[in-house]
Chains A and B, each alone.
Chain A
């Protein structure tokens, strides 16, 4: 290695960053961690609301099916009575 290379090594000695840089970076990583928690809470609320609406929709469908069944039974019975009356 010649003199120029030695001088370059001296000129390019690593330089310390500002003292507060470590804390600033750690703070930014901490604030990044808050986001997933917030998002998880929002996702939970969304799921709960969706589940509520889904359950109500399912109940509505069941009631609709039961009502149609009741109409069919009533209709069958009325037909049966009508036939007996005609006879």
Chain B
């Protein structure tokens, strides 16, 4: 009886889908850098949510669940398909026009250069960077999503940022 009174109304799958598909798709796209694959992973993540909807207690729980499952699924997909560029971060050339361009064009070139540099990182630091700068999660939240110590997350962030700074400075792009 108590269970019947306190039972949560069933979550609206279509609403959750519309609300979170951009997050899941962007996570997959930025990590895998392949639109078709990102769409495929997004579909799989939401079909998994649909199968597990009975275990999801609230919209907030759904958001956290989706982020965790999407991050793990995307990392697995990246490892499976080995989409990670096999060139080292130092070998990636900056767009030649970056230094010469100005204003909006320079910003767009720099954005693309940063996305390429982040994409060249190993899977875990790459996902840490995407969760930090796309999802705006703090290190503790990232640690929960990726089930790793907070210190490890902070270390990945610091190392990746140093690497990006060094790379940009060497190419004469400098910080924005």
**A: which residues have CB within 8 A of B?**
2-18, 21-22, 24-26, 28-29, 32
Find chain B residues with CB under 8 A from A12 CB: 26, 30, 114-115, 118, 129-130, 133-134
Tell whether, in the assembled complex, residue B47 and residue A7 are in contact, meaning their CB atoms are under 8 Å apart: no
B contacts with A: majority SS: helix
Tell whether, in the assembled complex, residue A21 and residue B25 are in contact, meaning their CB atoms are under 8 Å apart: yes
Most buried by B among A3, A5, A11, A14: A11
Find chain B residues with CB under 8 A from A5 CB: 133, 161
- Of A8, A9, A13, A32, which one neighbours B47 at CB under 8 angstroms? A32
Tell whether, in the assembled complex, residue B175 and residue A4 are in contact, meaning their CB atoms are under 8 Å apart: yes
A contacts with B: majority SS: helix
Instruction: Assess A7 versus B110: contact at CB under 8 Å? Given A14-B23, A25-B17, A25-B46.
Output: yes
Tell whether, in the assembled complex, residue B50 and residue A7 are in contact, meaning their CB atoms are under 8 Å apart: no
Is B13 an interface residue, CB under 8 A from the partner?
Answer: yes
A80 to B100, CA, bound (A): 124
A83 to B39, CA, bound (A): 94
Tell whether, in the assembled complex, residue A15 and residue B115 are in contact, meaning their CB atoms are under 8 Å apart: no
A10 to B111, CA, bound (A): 7
Known: A15-B22, A26-B17, A29-B50; 19 extra A-B contacts, CB below 8 A, are A4-B161, A5-B161, A6-B176, A8-B129, A8-B164, A11-B115, A12-B26, A12-B30, A12-B114, A14-B134, A15-B30, A17-B22, A17-B38, A21-B39, A21-B43, A22-B17, A22-B21, A26-B14, A28-B43
